[in-house]
A and B are shown apart, each in its own frame.
Chain A
Amino acid sequence: MSKKILLAEDDEDNRDLVSFVLMRSRLGAELIIAENGQEAVDKAFEHLPNLILMDMQMPVMDGWTAIPILKGDKRTKAIPIIAFTAQAKPEDKIRTLEIGCAEHYSKPMDPEELITLIKKYITE
């Protein structure tokens, strides 16, 4: 059974790029896309992915709101979440860890580094 990764990202180019990198990583993971926080919560409950990549700045519902919901639900609280954000200040990183994120990944991305990070959670 293939692993599932949920990507919550409102920017189409970023979604395409993550998809591009994931396909070439040959991890064999299924990528589920959500364009905002609300959709991310809904799809997380529906698919129960193995990993969530969450952009923190999104319309409708941002990552700061969506992550506590997911961490508060027993179905999704164990799913590792990587905060995927352009906010690279140390306090931002601390804050994301405080709300339950496993990692904080700062944009812009480096494909090889991102794959290494994803592998860490997918293969565990």
Chain B
Amino acid sequence: MTSHPQNTAQNSPSGGADKAAAKQCLLAADRFLKESRFQDARAEIEKAKKLDPGNVYVVAFMDRINYFEAEKKKESPPPSSPPVPKPAPAAVPSPKPAPVPASAAAHPKPAPSAVPVTAAAPPKPAPAPVSTPPEPVPQAPKPKEPVPHAPPPPSPPPTPSEQKAMETTLEEMKRQIEMLSHSLEQEKKAREEMTKQQLQSNVLQLRTAMEKGWLNGAPNDEEAETLHKLAISLGIPENVEQSLRREVKLKMYSNAVKEVISKRQLLRSSSSTLEWLRKVYQVTMEEYLEYETKFLLDLVADQYKGTLLYVSPNVKAKDDLIPRLKSAGYAVVLSATPEEALEKIEKVNPNLILCHTEFAPGSLSGIKFLHLLRASPKFNFVPFLLLCEGVEVPQLQSSELRPHEGYLQKPVDVDELMIAMNEKLAHFRDYVSSLS
């Protein structure tokens, strides 16, 4: 407790000194009250009461301390008991009308709260020291709570283990969501793929039917209607159907042109035959002109692909390969030996040489023939394919063949041979193009 030297030192019976000391005690009590040091404030009030028992402010001040202490307890949780404001000091009748002290007279204060001469006002107005009981501090009316029940008490914070469990659950949920999303995506893709495949299958079905319908020319009205109904039943859009019809028509027409041109020596006039075919397939002049180049290229490709010098010991034994090469569009010049081929090559000027590796004793081998041609400035870049036995393959594999040279193992697969020939010819074309 803070002591006040004035209070203790001046304990004389002199009324003026006591009153002054009592005033100091009241000031000290006021400070303690502001600091919520209620016990200290009471002690100061007790001192003031002893020094100046007739001071009405002492009793009022004590009530004020009680009031503020109760208010303070209300604010601090948990409240031990509801604050009950003490009856106002005015409720306690003063023993006698207190004479206004000189100091108080000099500084008249209307309320006990104003007793302590301080610049700062007390937090709340003190109850009036008069007969009216202290009213509760007016407060702004609180809005009515719509919820009749009190809100649930806040849940306690989770423990670390609970938090960890929650995180694990969340992770698991995330993983499951990702898996579901992935599955949905996969299913969507599968459905799209199925739809695409179904459409492709339907288009293929319609194409097959159209090719059959257009094989011998434009279908009649009844057949055309049947094809159109098929397209509708397959769910094929009309623009796709039209595009497909045009494609099939021109393909069938192109095939027919090729077929009839291959027998043009039996025809009186190729041009009138082609014109007749154009009508049969209902190909418009615009379509004909648009595709003319393609038709002509196809015809040329089918008719003549180049001159082939075929060097084979089986020439006289009617090599099976020869008719296949001719039917593929090659002009085939035969030589029974490399020596014979060397004699013919200047005149033939071949686009490709096809040569067996082994010949009769005393004759050049195919490989030796290749080496001789490599030394020739005119023929060293002519595509050259060797037809070898299986035992010769390792040797040829290790040899340094150039891009336009190659070999095939016997017995020769014709399709494989055609692919190899086209490949070598492509190399030769590239080489010739590079010269220009």
Q: Is the CB of B272 within 8 A of A110?
A: yes
Residues of chain A contacted by B280 (CB below 8 angstroms)? 24
Asked if B217 lies at the interface with its beta carbon under 8 angstroms from chain A, I say yes
Q: Is the CB of A24 within 8 A of B256?
A: yes
Q: Is the CB of A23 within 8 A of B263?
A: no
Asked if A109 lies at the interface with its beta carbon under 8 angstroms from chain B, I say yes
Q: Is the CB of A109 within 8 A of B216?
A: no
Q: Which of B216, B259, B272, B276 contacts A26 (CB 8 A)?
A: B216
Q: Is the CB of A26 within 8 A of B217?
A: yes
Q: In the bound complex, what is the Cα–Cα distance between A108 and B268 (angstroms)?
A: 5
Q: In the bound complex, what is the Cα–Cα distance between A16 and B266 (angstroms)?
A: 11
Q: Is the CB of A108 within 8 A of B259?
A: no
> Shortest CB–CB separation between residue A104 and chain B, in angstroms?
15
Q: Is the CB of B268 within 8 A of A20?
A: no
Count of chain B residues with Cβ under 8 Å from any Cβ of A?
A: 18
> Shortest CB–CB separation between residue A16 and chain B, in angstroms?
7
Q: Which of B216, B217, B256, B276 contacts A112 (CB 8 A)?
A: B276
Count of chain A residues with Cβ under 8 Å from any Cβ of B?
A: 15
> Shortest CB–CB separation between residue A19 and chain B, in angstroms?
10
Asked if A111 lies at the interface with its beta carbon under 8 angstroms from chain B, I say yes
Q: Is the CB of A110 within 8 A of B216?
A: no
Task: Tell me the A1-28 residues at the B interface (CB within 8 Å).
Answer: 13-14, 16-17, 20, 23-24, 26
Q: In the bound complex, what is the Cα–Cα distance between A14 and B267 (angstroms)?
A: 10
Q: Is the CB of A111 within 8 A of B273?
A: yes
- Most B C-beta atoms less than 10 A away, residue of A26, A111, A112: A111
Q: Is the CB of B265 within 8 A of A24?
A: no
Q: In the bound complex, what is the Cα–Cα distance between A23 and B252 (angstroms)?
A: 13
Asked if A95 lies at the interface with its beta carbon under 8 angstroms from chain B, I say no
- Most A C-beta atoms less than 10 A away, residue of B217, B220, B259, B276: B276
Q: In the bound complex, what is the Cα–Cα distance between A14 and B272 (angstroms)?
A: 18
Q: Is the CB of B220 within 8 A of A16?
A: no
Closest to B259 in A: A20
Q: In the bound complex, what is the Cα–Cα distance between A24 and B267 (angstroms)?
A: 16
Residues of chain A contacted by B2 (CB below 8 angstroms)? none
Q: In the bound complex, what is the Cα–Cα distance between A24 and B278 (angstroms)?
A: 11
Q: Is the CB of A13 within 8 A of B263?
A: yes
Q: Which of A17, A24, A113 contacts B263 (CB 8 A)?
A: A17
Residues of chain B contacted by A13 (CB below 8 angstroms)? 263, 266
With A20-B259, A111-B276, A112-B276 known to touch, is A14 a contact of B266 (CB < 8 Å)? Answer: yes
Task: Tell me the B277-314 residues at the A interface (CB within 8 Å).
Answer: 277, 280
Q: Is the CB of A107 within 8 A of B276?
A: no
Asked if B70 lies at the interface with its beta carbon under 8 angstroms from chain A, I say no
Q: Is the CB of B272 within 8 A of A17?
A: no
Q: Is the CB of A108 within 8 A of B276?
A: no
Q: Which of B217, B220, B259, B268 contacts A109 (CB 8 A)?
A: B268
With A20-B259, A112-B276 known to touch, is A26 a contact of B266 (CB < 8 Å)? Answer: no
> Shortest CB–CB separation between residue A18 and chain B, in angstroms?
9
Asked if B114 lies at the interface with its beta carbon under 8 angstroms from chain A, I say no
Q: In the bound complex, what is the Cα–Cα distance between A14 and B262 (angstroms)?
A: 12
**A-B residue pairs in contact (CB < 8 Å), sample of 26:** A13-B263, A14-B266, A17-B263, A17-B266, A20-B259, A20-B263, A23-B215, A23-B216, A24-B216, A24-B217, A24-B256, A24-B277, A24-B280, A26-B217, A26-B220, A108-B265, A108-B266, A109-B266, A109-B267, A109-B268, A110-B268, A110-B272, A111-B267, A111-B273, A112-B276, A113-B268
Further 14 A-B residue pairs, CB within 8 A, beyond A17-B263, A24-B280, A110-B273: A13-B266, A17-B266, A17-B267, A20-B256, A23-B215, A24-B277, A108-B268, A109-B266, A109-B267, A109-B268, A110-B267, A111-B267, A111-B276, A112-B276
Which A positions have Cβ atoms within 8 angstroms of B? 13-14, 16-17, 20, 23-24, 26, 107-113
A-B pairs, 5 with minimum CB distance? A110-B268, A23-B216, A112-B276, A108-B268, A24-B217
